[in-house]
Amino acid sequence: MWDVVLDALLDTLKLFPFLLLLYILIELMEHNTRMGRASAALAGRWAPLLGSATGLVPMCGFSVMAAKLYEKKYLTLGTLLAVFIATSDEAFLVLLVSELPWPDKLVSILAMCGAKLVLGAGVGYAFDLIGKTRSRLLPMPQAEHACDEGRAEEHDHAREEEHVHGAGHDHVRDEGHAEEHDHVCGDHDHEHGEFTVCEHKHGKYGTLSLYLLSPLLHALKVAAFVLLVNLAFGLMFFFIGEENVIGFLQGSGYWYQPLICSALGFVPNCASSVILAEVYAMGGISFGSCFAGLVVNAGLGYLVLFKNVKAWRRTLAICAFMLALGIAVGYAVNGIALLIA
Burial (0-12, 13-18, 19+ Cβ within 10 Å), 334? buried
On the question of pLDDT at 192 being above 60, the answer is no
Residue 206: predicted pLDDT: 63
Q: Could you tell me if 84 and 298 are in contact, meaning their C-beta atoms sit under 8 angstroms apart?
A: yes
Which tens digit of pLDDT belongs to each residue from 14-32? 888 888 888 888 877 776 6
Q: Could you tell me if 78 and 128 are in contact, meaning their C-beta atoms sit under 8 angstroms apart?
A: yes
Given pLDDT bands bounded at 50, 70 and 90, which one contains residue 230?
Answer: confident
Q: What is the domain extent for residue 27?
A: 2-340
Mean pLDDT estimate for the chain:
79
Mean pLDDT of 171-196: 42
Residue 8: predicted pLDDT: 81
- Max mean pLDDT among 40-49, 123-132, 229-238 falls in 123-132
Which tens digit of pLDDT belongs to each residue from 206-226? 666 667 888 888 888 888 888
Domain count, the chain: 1
Q: Could you tell me if 51 and 86 are in contact, meaning their C-beta atoms sit under 8 angstroms apart?
A: yes
Give the H/E segment covering residue 171: helix 170-175
Residue 222: predicted pLDDT: 84
On the question of pLDDT at 160 being above 70, the answer is no
Residue 209: predicted pLDDT: 67
Q: Could you tell me if 48 and 120 are in contact, meaning their C-beta atoms sit under 8 angstroms apart?
A: yes
On the question of pLDDT at 124 being above 60, the answer is yes
Distant-in-sequence, close-in-space partners of 155: CB < 8 Å, separation ≥ 6:
none
Which tens digit of pLDDT belongs to each residue from 288-307? 999 999 999 998 899 899 98
For the CA atoms of 86, 330, 280, 294, what is the dihedral angle to 10 degrees?
Answer: 20
pTM for the model: 0.75
On the question of pLDDT at 145 being above 60, the answer is no
Which tens digit of pLDDT belongs to each residue from 238-260? 888 878 888 888 888 888 999 99
Mean pLDDT of 77-86: 96
